C-alpha cells in the first residue's frame, strides 16, 4: 500500500443528537473551525470517542474538525437532518441552551 493512498472514511460513524456532555467537544470544534456554535438542535457525527462535526437541524450552520475527513461526516449529518425535517412532530426535547453557549464562549 502506498503512503499516498487516501485513508478511507471510518465506517464506525455515529450520528446522534448533541447532549450537555458534548459541550467541551463542541467548543473545541467551534474553535478549530473558527466558527460560532450553530443555533438550535444539533446533530453530531462521532467517530470513536471524538466529535468530528455538528450540524443544526433547526437553524443554519455547521462546524467540523478541519484536520479530519469531516466533509463526509457533514454530508451524513446533512442527509439525516433533511430526513428529520420532513417528519413533523419528531423534534427532540433537547436544544442547546445557555450552558452550551457559555462553554463555547469560554
Residue range 77-98, pLDDT digits in tens: 999 998 888 766 655 544 555 5
Q: Domain limits of the chain? A: 13-86
Question: Of 46, 100, 55, whose CA–CA distance to 79 is shortest?
Answer: 55
Domain range 13-86, CATH class: alpha beta
pTM of the shown model: 0.76
DSSP per position, 87-106: STT---S----HHHHHHHH-
**Average pLDDT of the chain to the nearest whole number:** 81
pLDDT at 5 over 80: no
The SS3 call for residue 62 is strand
CA-to-CA distance for 82 and 95, rounded, in angstroms?
17
Amino acid at each position: 500500500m502506498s503512503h499516498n493512498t487516501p485513508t478511507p472514511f471510518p465506517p464506525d460513524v455515529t450520528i446522534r443528537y448533541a447532549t450537555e456532555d458534548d459541550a467541551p467537544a463542541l467548543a473545541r470544534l467551534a474553535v478549530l473551525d473558527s466558527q460560532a456554535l450553530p443555533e438550535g438542535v444539533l446533530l453530531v457525527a462521532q467517530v470513536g470517542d471524538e466529535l468530528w462535526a455538528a450540524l443544526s437541524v433547526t437553524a443554519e450552520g455547521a462546524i467540523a474538525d478541519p484536520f479530519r475527513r469531516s466533509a463526509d461526516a457533514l454530508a451524513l449529518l446533512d442527509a439525516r437532518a433533511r430526513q428529520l425535517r420532513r417528519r413533523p412532530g419528531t423534534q427532540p426535547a433537547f436544544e442547546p441552551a445557555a450552558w452550551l453557549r457559555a462553554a463555547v464562549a469560554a
